[in-house]
Structure 1
């Protein structure tokens, strides 16, 4: 099953789950309880912490939920904050999730030291639910912005093209998988 966030980030081939960690968790859990999918593929846009370029396509099976306060030693958590469905030795770019969009370029570059390259609001929720229901899962993302003071404006400016690139990428990958 292919899923996406919702609101203005929908695709004709994906089922919307909601925006942010809470809506996604609630709606995806409900879906899994009543009609558990065999596989989950999340498709969405993301912000880059500096290495990934605008309109790059990133595939990942690893997500984190690490808040900016962790980077300044102002917080800790007793909860698991990195989840992966990657069963290979292939190194993933970790996708960080929060209900907030990062705009502090200096601070967010520190995520790169931990292998965390991009952020998407929903992905940690997707992998958390997938893990709970033992569903294989992954994500495909297109970069719309850098995590800086222009994040929102760049997201808006690049969103339509990013969605078109994602649609093209996902449809091509489905065709590759079904023809082999």
Structure 2
């Protein structure tokens, strides 16, 4: 089953599940309770912490939920904040960080690279958390729309249409969709 966030980020071949960690968790859990898929593939956009370029395609089966305050030793969590799916379908290039906030401080956010975290996407950690609970293999394929800097939102808007086209073409080239 192919899923996406929704709102401005929809595809004809993917079922929208909600934007951010909470909407995604609620809607994907509801979907899995009533019709559990054999595999989940999340597709969407991502912001780069500096190691990936605009329009790069990034595949992952690992997600983190680490806030910027953690990078400055201003917070901690007793929760497991990095998850990995056990599947052979998606290569494991980078960890995708998720938060309900978009990073806009590049000098701080690029520190995620030291932890092996290369991009951020608002929903992917929730997707992995729900998939783990229901024992569903999961992966994600992302297209980079922006860097995590002060122009992140403007760049996202400017690059979004072309990025969605490039992501769709990549999925077609990989024979994931027709």
Q: If the length of structure 1 is used for normalisation, what is the TM-score?
A: 0.94
Correspondence for 2:154: 153
Q: Deviations over 1:93-128 (max 9, x none)?
A: 000000000000000111000000000000000000
Q: In the alignment, which residue of structure 2 is the partner of 1:121?
A: 122
| Match in the other structure for 1:19 | 19
Helix, strand or coil: the match of 2:175?
Answer: helix
CA contact (8 A) 2:87 2:137 kept: no
Question: Residue 174 of structure 1: SS of its match in structure 2?
Answer: coil
Q: 1:79 maps to what in 2?
A: 79
Supply the distance in 1 between the matched residues of 2:112 and 2:168 (Cα, whole angstroms): 28
- Show the counterpart of 1:50: 50
| Aligned mates of 1:174, 1:33 — CA distance in 2 | 28
Question: Which residue of the partner structure matches residue 134 of structure 2?
Answer: 133
8 A contact 1:62–1:86 mirrored in 2: no
Is the Cα–Cα contact under 8 Å of residues 49 and 112 in structure 2 kept in the other structure? yes
Give the 3-state SS of the residue equivalent to 1:103 in structure 2.
coil
Runs of 4+ deviating beyond 3 Å: none
- Asked if structure 1 preserves the Cα contact closer than 8 Å seen for 2:143 and 2:167, the reply is yes
Equivalent residue runs for 1:96-115 within 5 Å: 96-115=97-116
Gaps of 5+ in 2: none
Q: Distance in 2 between matches of 1:144 and 1:126?
A: 20
Question: Counterpart of 1:171 in 2: which secondary structure?
Answer: helix
CA distance in 2, matches of 1:175, 1:64: 25
Q: How many residues align?
A: 176
Q: State the distance in 2 between where 1:16 and 1:171 align.
A: 19
Aligned partners of 2:43 and 2:151: how far apart in 1?
Answer: 23
Question: TM-score when scaled to structure 2?
Answer: 0.95
| Secondary structure of the structure 2 residue equivalent to 1:58 | strand
SS of 1:157's partner is: helix
Q: More displaced, 66-75 or 166-175?
A: 166-175
Moved more, 165-174 or 16-25: 165-174
After superposition, residues 80-95 of structure 1 pair within 5 angstroms as 80-86=80-86, 91-95=92-96
The equivalent of 2:169 in structure 1 is 168
